[in-house]
Every structure is written in C-alpha cells, then in structure tokens.
Amino acid sequence: MDSIHVQGGVALQGKVRIQGSKNAALPVLAATLLTKETSCIYNCPRIADVHRMVSLLRSLGLKVRWEENGIRVNAWNVCRGEMPADAIKGMRSSLCLLGALIGRCGEVAMEYPGGCMIGKRPIDIHIYALQKMGVDFREEQGMLFARTEGLHGAEVTLPFASVGATENIILAAVMAEGDTIIRGAAKEPEIDALCHYLEKCGAVIDGIGTGTLTIQGGRPLYGTSYRIPEDRIVAGTYLFGAIATGGCVLLENAPYRQMEAVLKVAERMGAQCDLTEEGIYVQAAERAKAVKAIRTAPYPGFPTDLQSMALATLAGAEGECRIEETIFENRFQVVEPLKKMGADITGINSGCVLVRGVEKLRGAQMEAKELRGGAALILAALSAEGESTVTGCSYIYRGYENICKDLRELGARVAGV
C-alpha cells in the first residue's frame, strides 16, 4: 500500500497505544552483535526499518526470530563484517552497525547508507571519532572500509551533539581496551536506552543522560532481556493530530517525561494535556492557537522529527508562527504540498518559514518525500475539508507500525490503498 486515502473533517476521539521507539530499537538491535549470547528485545515496533535491520543482522550470521512480544537475537556466529548493499540502501540507521561491527569483527565494509532526503548528514564526525580509537578508514569505488588491529579508549569531543556518532562511539567503546570519554555527547532518550541495554549486558557507563559519557571498555558482555521504551515521536504525532482536528485523545503509555518541550508547545496551542497513570490525556481546543515561534533543537529542545507535524497543525491555527529548523537543512519539503491544500506559508530563509493559519485547509493529492513529513501530510488531511490522497507512503511505514489502524481507532476516516 503506497497510498493513504483520507476523508477529512473528523475530530480524533478515543485512545491509542503508543508503539515502541524506532530510534531506540535500531541501535539496541545493533548492540546485540556485541555479545555471543542470546538477547530478548521486547516492545520492538513492527515497522519497515526494524524489519530491514532484522534482515541485515541475519545476513551477518546472527539468528534472529520474531516472537509475540519482541525479537530474540543470538549473535554467537557473526560470519562477516561486510554489509550487503541491498540491505542498507535507504536505511540511514544501518550506520549504527559501524561501531558494533568494528567492536565485534575488527573490520567493516559498507556502502554509504541512505534514508530520508532531509539533509546531508555527513559521517565525517563518526570517522573522526573512531579514528581516535584506533580505526583506519579508506574509500574505494563508493565503499567505505574500516579496520582496526585493536580498539583503544580515547577522549573524544564532538563538535556538535550527533546522535548517530554518539551511538557509534558507545558501541565501539564497550569493546575497546581502556576508558573512553565522550564530551558533547547527544542527550536524546534513545542514547539512554542504548546505554541501559548495554549496562544490563555488563557494561559500565557513567554520565547517562548528560553531555559527558565515560565508558569502561573491555568488560565481558552477556545476553539479557530489555524492553524498548515507547516512541516519543509517534506520541507527538498523534498529539498534534488531536490538536489539528480539535479532538480528545488518550495517548496510552506515552513517554511524557521525554516530551516536556512538545507538551509546552501543545499547551500554548490551547490544548489541555493531563498526565495520568495511563499516559497523556489531550483535550484540544476547537481551533488551535498559533504560538509565536518554534525552534528545533537537540534534546531536550523541540525535536526536529516533530517540526513538520507542528507546521501542519499551525497551517489551520488561529494566528501566525515563525518556525526555525536548526538540525536538518531540508525539513521543509511539506511546505509545497501544504500550499496545495490552501496553507499560507512564506519562506523567510532556507531554515525558517512563517505560517499564517487559514480557516480551513482543503483536500488535495500529495506525495510524501520523507518519513516525518509524510506523517505531517496525513495530519493536514485529517483536518482538511474533503478528500486527500497521500502517495509515497513507504516512507511513513518506516516509522509507524500501523498509522491507518491507529487513526481509525480514533475515529478517522483513513485507509491504505
């Protein structure tokens, strides 16, 4: 199903269970390479990116089996350090296997990974950090080759808080001789999840949740069980869906402690967000109010992955808002499709737009160009008058377990076609 058809104009009502986190599951699955024993990873979302990661791990020699509540992985036999090109194309998250394979095999051969077209996302910071730990790199005919005679601890200061680089350094550091200190480390909850899984395996990591991590390398790692936390971006998507449609929704098990910046924006839009034992209960205003400004930032700031959803919601809000994107340079691919729906959005510069809310968006034919922007177009279609069709939905399925089913449970008239 590469298209999603939406009949707009229905306020979302009811409750929806929040799936496990995509951004936590992928590096944790990569980390299962580092022990020769069995790990059970529960609450893994059944999304395209996780299925691709499972296939990639199997291609490397691991035994991986889906079970009712998660994934069982045994990495006793890792037969190769080469990632098949067809397995990593379109999957930027395969990059987190770089540190894990170097740690386990001492060498890696891979094509440059793909993913969403939301920015350049160069990997030079990954290479710089791993070189300090004793890894040699070379490029040849579009391939990246990495090899080490032995990883050693190092002090690494990141020029910016890269999530992917932080993950790769952690994965290599737990297998290195000596201690590794990461300064300027990313603080995203997904980093915490990776560290907590590795701690359960026997690693020693200090400073979790801060910008300075100290990893004691060379300790034996064991198999364990670990539960992936809920996905804060999926929760934020349905939160903005409720606001865009003037609905009332319970986000079951939503990780509200990770969503402080998002909840502040939601409340400034006129929504009442109550934290309960079940999750987040959202009562939206009949029409959202525009906030003065939104600026994306690394965690704990407003997440770039929810910027498109906020933009789609504000397109129908009362008032105007300036949105500044500081993480990825190509996050505004939703602007032109939203304009087709009647949105009033003006570019200030390549990283900033001004959105003036209109009374009603109208249905349109649109194409998703990337994961989060595709989900944002679905939200816009929910709030619009008339029918909409969103194509290119293979991007959306990379991060949402069953977005059509979830929305139908909230009363939306939506179907994959």
Q: What does the alpha-carbon distance between residue 130 and residue 154 come to, in Å, rounded to a whole number?
A: 9
Element (H, E) at 355: strand 352-356
* Residue type present at position 166: T
**DSSP character string of 356-375:** E--S--B--EEE--SHHHHH
Q: How many CB atoms lie within 10 A of CB 143?
A: 13
Backbone angles phi, psi at 165, to 5 degrees: -65, -40
Angle, helices 307-314 vs 232-245, to 10°: value is 0
**Residue 105 annotated in active site:** no
Helices (H), 269-370: 307-314, 335-340
Residue 182 tokens read as 């990461």
What is the dihedral sign for C-alpha 291, 293, 299, 304? positive
Torsions phi, psi for 352 (to 5 deg): -155, 135
- Half-sphere exposure at residue 413, Cβ-oriented, CA atoms within 13 angstroms: 12
Among 116, 195, 201, 393, the one annotated catalytic: 116
Enzyme catalytic residues = 116
